[in-house]
Amino acid sequence: SSEVAYRFRHLRTLMSSKEGPFPKTLEGFGYKFNEEGKLRKIDAATGNTTDTSFQFNVSSDPSYNQKRYEAVGEAVTELVYDLLDKEGLKRLPVPPGSANGSFIFCTENAQVSDKLVILIHGTGVVKAGQWARSLIINDSLDSGTQIPYIRKAQELGYGVFVLNTNDNFRLIDGKKSPIKGSSNAQEHASTVWSHYITQSRAQKIAIIAHSFGGVVTMSLASNFEEDFLKRVFAIGLTDSVHGKIPRAVSSVLADHLAKIGRNWVSSLEALDSPLPEQAGEIQCVSAGTSKHELTSWSCMDSLFSFIEERLENRLVSTRDEL
């Protein structure tokens, strides 16, 4: 029996090895999204979705469960990329002209539109089109992906750029190799801005960023001050962790960022309730949820109302200058 136990352990090790024979698709794991965009188990007999949601614990080995979850996450990444393709977005290489680099998504009209929305997710495992992987797997595509934001921005007449700031490495001969121009989030955003945003026609740009995306936004502002002063009219943050406007930026830019920005933070207060202000900083209001990863979904309508209001203010002040 010790031989059997050894073989079983050996098999388990194989199953949970990093390369693990994990499927590449959600269907391979026995799951798919139902009509409501919720991940559900597939009935093997009919191929239809059941009411059973994702099960994390399928083994007594915690590391196997975690690796399986990560493999499901990889399948989610590919599925969300496909959904962005289906929404009619196109991929642009980062840096431009690279074959094995990173990429971003944008709407067909993004480079020629007179107004733009730029979406920046947080740090970690999420890739383009995702706010929170855990929500996509355990809640829904609506709450966890950026698709509702992309659709809303398009309805309001904006071109959209979807950044992919966590796409930093490629496996080359089994080794992690940093992507030139996209080796970290700030560098990715900077490459996108200098090659695509600078070249785009839009004179009116709004940025929407979640969590660490706020840090990336501040880094962009520092690197492209003139562009921010001229073209960026609104910054909608959701539970941004930028802390404060960077000391390094000029006082003119700091004033501009404080004026055009708003941060919807996780809070028990009602949605949009103003939270204690810090002089000279971006205003914080409640996102209407105490859950960090839910903030973007919870405050979406308020955030877009804010952007539209800022656009109106900008148009009025531009008219006043004429």
Pairing of strands 102-106, 159-162: antiparallel
* Averaged pLDDT for residues 288-302: 99
Closest CA to 113 of 150, 158, 149: 158
Q: Give the HSE-up count for residue 228: Cα atoms under 13 Å, Cβ half-sphere.
A: 24
Answer yes or no: 302 catalytic.
no
Question: What pLDDT shows up at residue 117?
Answer: 99
Question: What pLDDT shows up at residue 136?
Answer: 98
Question: What pLDDT shows up at residue 317?
Answer: 75
Q: Which of 211, 240, 286, 296 is catalytic?
A: 211
Contact yes or no for 236/303 (Cβ under 8 A): yes
Question: Could you count the other beta carbons within 10 Å of the beta carbon of residue 265?
Answer: 20
For 134, counting Cβ atoms within 10 Å of its Cβ (0-12 exposed, 13-18 middle, 19+ buried), the class is middle
Question: What pLDDT shows up at residue 19?
Answer: 45
Q: Which residues contact 96 (CB under 8 A, 6 or more apart)?
A: 195, 196
* Rounded percentage of the chain residues whose pLDDT exceeds 70: 92
Q: Is the pLDDT of residue 11 over 80?
A: no
Q: Is the pLDDT of residue 15 over 60?
A: no
Closest CA to 206 of 159, 143, 146: 159
Question: What pLDDT shows up at residue 18?
Answer: 47
Question: What pLDDT shows up at residue 148?
Answer: 99
Rounded to whole angstroms, the Cα distance separating 149 from 105 reads 14
Closest CA to 113 of 156, 83, 164, 146: 156
**CA–centroid distance for 221 within its chain:** 19
pLDDT digits (tens, 9 = 90+) for 174-190: 899 999 999 999 999 99
For 286, counting Cβ atoms within 10 Å of its Cβ (0-12 exposed, 13-18 middle, 19+ buried), the class is buried
Q: Is the pLDDT of residue 322 over 70?
A: no
CA angle 269–270–273, rounded 5-degree value: 80
Q: How confident is the model at residue 262 (pLDDT cuts 50, 70, 90)?
A: very high
- What is the DSSP code (8-state) at residue 49? B
pLDDT digits (tens, 9 = 90+) for 157-174: 999 999 999 999 999 998
Question: What pLDDT shows up at residue 93?
Answer: 98
Question: Could you count the other beta carbons within 10 Å of the beta carbon of residue 41?
Answer: 16
- What is the DSSP code (8-state) at residue 294? G
pLDDT digits (tens, 9 = 90+) for 18-31: 446 899 999 999 99
Q: Is the pLDDT of residue 318 over 90?
A: no
Q: How confident is the model at residue 17 (pLDDT cuts 50, 70, 90)?
A: very low
- What is the DSSP code (8-state) at residue 45? T
Please report the DSSP string for 170-231 in residue order: EEETTEEEEPTT-SSHHHHHHHHIIIIITTS--SEEEEEEETTHHHHHHHHHHHTHHHHHHH
Question: What pLDDT shows up at residue 21?
Answer: 81
**Can you list the alpha helix ranges (DSSP code H) found in the chain?**
2-16, 62-86, 133-138, 141-144, 147-155, 185-192, 213-223, 225-231, 251-260, 295-298, 300-321
Instruction: Report the SS3 class of residue 43.
Output: coil
pLDDT digits (tens, 9 = 90+) for 22-69: 999 999 999 999 999 999 999 999 999 999 999 999 999 999 999 999
Question: What pLDDT shows up at residue 316?
Answer: 81
Question: What pLDDT shows up at residue 7?
Answer: 59
Rounded to whole angstroms, the Cα distance separating 264 from 240 reads 8
User: What's the predicted TM-score (pTM) here?
Assistant: 0.92
> Which residue do the tokens 């001229």 mark?
230
Q: Which two structure tokens, joined as six digits, stand for 322?
A: 């004429």
pLDDT digits (tens, 9 = 90+) for 73-111: 999 999 999 999 999 999 999 999 998 999 999 999 999
Question: CATH code for 90-321?
Answer: 3.40.50
- Return the domain boundaries, the chain: 90-321
Question: What pLDDT shows up at residue 248?
Answer: 87
Query: What's the chain's average pLDDT?
Result: 94
